[in-house]
Structure 1
Amino acid sequence: MLSNIDINEYKKLKLQNEDLKVKNITINKELQECRGIKWLLSQLIKVFGTLDSFENLMRNTTDVLMGILGVDTCAVWIKKDDKDEYVTYSRSVYNSNRYEVNECRKLPECLLKFKETSLLDINNKSILIAPLEDFRTNNKLGFIVAEHKNKNFFTKTTIDFFNILAIQISIVVINSKLFEKINEITNKDALTNCYNRNYFEKLMLNMNTNQRDYTLAVFDLDNFKKVNDILGHERGDEILVEIGKLAMNIVKRYNGEVIRYGGDEFIIILFKPLNEAIKILENFRKSVPGIELIKKIGINITVTIGVASYSETVTEMKNIFTVADMALIKGKKRGEKNTIHIGYNKYR
């Protein structure tokens, strides 16, 4: 028969055993969570290691965070260069996990006060906020914000993970901005800020022949030599800058591209069928004499344009530039300036 001492000892051991079971469950849960976070970090490091656009990196990052962490909403706020404006890259279960990119005039005041990773419980919701910093200058780059509808959703492990994630994304932001600057130096014309010949040659090498509507125009300036000869090359450069600005302002509405090929020769690329592209090019051609600087110098500067369109006037994409360029040259030889000339592939 058990004594009172034995019974008490048994009860004590039983309680200790139950406590150990709870602790064991908790430790196993934390261990599983740590393994999950470790795996998540490995996936994000793979994402960050790709030479992709920043927007696509954020697309993949938010997708991984939503899928693995199981949050309801995830948003990355990134500050624009030298501006108090932000771009947000986000997903939410409330819009079917659709990836969205939005420009915001102003950062919400509530975010500005956070200097380190912080956990908030508001209206029974869990909100985790981590600031992003440029470690070289200690300037704010933006924030990561994750939300879940349940209170106390985020654990210490998740918060520690967010600290690491904030560092990783900050590095990605810094590197992305540096890459964009290098890319701009490599692919942009220093004078006009249009794309340059180097960019165009790479574009032609990677041309998508499945592109259904693709129109390329080559244009140069009529009477431009007079500007250089009479007013000097500095004034000539100013004219080229204004022409480039006008072309970019007009074609950017249609997601087109402007390239300075060399001298006063430019290329316009429009992902439009020929008839639509002609209307856009006509708008540009007619707008050139209205440039204030051109009116001021008193020299009749106009543009002559050669156009080719794949596959309406050109059967092979590789010939599109040559056909458009020859249309321009032949048009000018006939004395038909300030006009649009459509080029056709002679093998059509």
Structure 2
Amino acid sequence: MNYLERDLRAQAEKYKNLFLISEKLHSCMDMETLLEELFVILHENYSDYSYCLFLSFDTHSRENYPIKELEYDSENVAAAKAYALGEVQFEQSITDRNAIIYAPLKGIQGVYGVLQMIARDSVDFPESEIEFITLLAGSVGHAIENAKLYQQSEQLVCNLKLLNEATKQFNSNLKLEEAMSNISQQIQSAFQAEEVGFFVLTDDQLKVKLLPGSTPYFYSKLGQVYIQYFKEKILQEKDSLYFADFRSEMEVGEEFHSIMAVPVYQGQSLKGFSIVMHHKPYFFTFDTYKLLQTLIQHSSLALMNHKLREELNKLVITDYLTKLHSRKYLDEKILHSMKKDKQGTFILIDIDNFKKINDTYGHQVGDEILVQVANVIKANIREKDIGARWGGEELAIYLPMVSLDNGTAIAKRLIKKVEENSNPRVTVSCGVSYWYKDLAHSYQSLFKRADEALYVAKTTGKNRVVAQTDHHEAS
């Protein structure tokens, strides 16, 4: 075999190896795996060379491999030129007798970096070596592009799933607290965020209400500092905020560096905002920020609809004038209580001489009196007690798990408070009834006994409380 034949066979073997290398690189869809495989290949094929990758994108592999960020400075002129022009560049070190080649990592859509190869004790690279390194760098560029596109598509699928799940949560029949908690968990999981907060503003935009689903940090004093700072910042900027390495004049003991803050608008009106934070600088990418913007904007309409639906549900169960519950809501709650509780007390209330008030002062004052009495009721019952408008000038209170004696005492306190806090001064009469599980009291008899006791109170002097009599107890 002559020299030419051996050279041709060596060249064929070399390009066969390049094909196998390209095949191996293109099978790597994970960037870390791709870079790891590349340096194994370089070590096997260029053990006598020094090499380095200059990359234009961020990677966590710099500590393990000879990777540098591509920067435009005096030390990297040839590398920057190879990247900018997409053409191979050369350098020669006369003192060290080194030949250096910079081969761009070119894909179809762009250049992703530069491969630097250093041949020790050489003045120049052979033409065949230049061609091989150029083809190898091109193969690496295409492999990086494929891996990045694959990762982007995977991320896009994850993003779409996140958006879809968030929309489902907001448009579901879940309570706002449950929906916000689920969204918060999804953001923490998808973005690996340490703190997530959701906030709504009062109509005057002076105060901020923290929504359920926010992480506990925002309930702390330090968290409140961030809330107020970004509220003012958003009101001033009227736009979303992205800080890769946050520095401010805030004097806080626990500083977060990566912060995203996105406002929620209804039309042109700022209704609230969201804050996502992490201690590490540059933790959130700009793509993450854009996704959060899309997520919040995508969900803002659903959030507003959710709030409107809750307000509508509240209107359905609330009397428009007194803001007490409706009679239908009261009936439902009493029936539910009679199934799960052991006892309960019902108070039926009537405003004394209400027709005379309307005739003397007018119906507008009559309405004001109803509101005043309703306010006294709301101020003197527990959160789990139910105050309701029974009809006309009659109001009602249901006290779950309260005995007849205690219920009667509450009614007596109530008539005293009404007389003290009404203007023009009015009085009320109360009929009190009671149920107990062991006595098999019925739902209908509870109302009947209270109505009969109220009739006695009205016909025996008014401004008084009458409780059900003994002969009613088993009816």
For normalisation by structure 2, the TM-score amounts to 0.60
User: Which residue is equivalent to 2:386?
Assistant: 257
Q: Which has the larger radius of gyration?
A: 2
Query: 1:203 deviation in Å?
Result: 4.2
Correspondence for 1:7 among 129, 136, 153: 129
The one-letter amino acid of 1:258's match is G
1:78 aligns with 2:222: no
Cα deviation for residue 107 of structure 1 reads 7.0
The residue that corresponds to 2:162 in the other structure is: 40
- Mapped partners of 1:272, 1:204: distance in 2: 11
Please report the TM-score for the alignment, with normalisation by the length of structure 1: 0.79
1:178 CA drift (Å)? 3.0
* Structure 1, unpaired ranges of 5+: 96-103
Q: Mark the CA change 1:41 to 1:205 in structure 2 (over 3 Å): closer, same or farther.
A: farther
In structure 2, distance between residues paired with 1:343 and 1:72: 62
Q: Which AA in structure 2 matches 1:116? A: D
Cα offset, 1:132, TM superposition: 0.7
Kindly report the root-mean-square deviation, in angstroms, between the aligned alpha carbons of the 2 structures.
3.5
Q: Report the alpha carbon displacement of residue 25 of structure 1 after superposing the two structures with TM.
A: 3.2
Percent identity, please.
Answer: 23
Distance (whole Å) between structure 1 residues aligned to residue 228 and residue 455 of structure 2? 47
Match of residue 66 from structure 1: 188
- Retained in 1: the 8 A contact 2:230–2:261? no
Match of 1:191 in 2: 321
Kindly tell me: are residues 237 and 131 of structure 1, through their superposed partners in 2, closer, same or farther at Cα, counting changes over 3 Å? closer
Helix, strand or coil: the match of 2:173? Answer: coil
Mapped to 2, the partners of 1:315 and 1:60 lie a distance apart of: 43
Give distance in 1, aligned partners of 2:398 and 2:201. 31
Which residue in the other structure is 1:101 paired with?
none
Where does residue 55 of structure 2 map in the other structure? none
The residue type equivalent to 2:209 in the other structure is V
- The equivalent of 1:167 in structure 2 is 297
Partner of 1:269: 398
Name the CA distance, whole Å, in 1 between partners of 2:343 and 2:287.
51
- For 1:133-161, what per-residue CA distance to the aligned partner results, in whole angstroms no more than 9, with x for missing partners? 112xx110111111122322223432232
Are the counterparts in 1 of residues 171 and 306 from structure 2 also a CA contact under 8 Å? no
**8 Å Cα contact 1:63-1:91 kept in structure 2:** no
After the TM superposition, list the runs of 4 or more consecutive aligned residues in structure 1 that deviate by more than 6 angstroms.
104-107
Taking the aligned partners of 2:234 and 2:215, their CA distance within structure 1 comes to 19
Q: Secondary structure at the match of 1:113?
A: helix
Match of 2:241 among 100, 105, 118: 118
Find the counterpart in structure 1 of residue 454 from structure 2: 328
* Change over 3 Å in CA distance of 1:81–1:58 after alignment to 2: farther
Of 378, 384, 389 in structure 2, the residue corresponding to residue 248 of structure 1 is 378
**Residues 22 and 342 (structure 1 numbering): CA distance in 2 closer, same or farther, change over 3 Å?**
farther
Consecutive unaligned residues of structure 2, counting only runs of 5 or more, are 1-6, 12-125, 219-226, 248-255
Q: CA 1:254–1:45 in structure 2 vs 1: closer, same or farther (change >3 Å)?
A: closer
3-state DSSP of counterpart to 1:293: coil
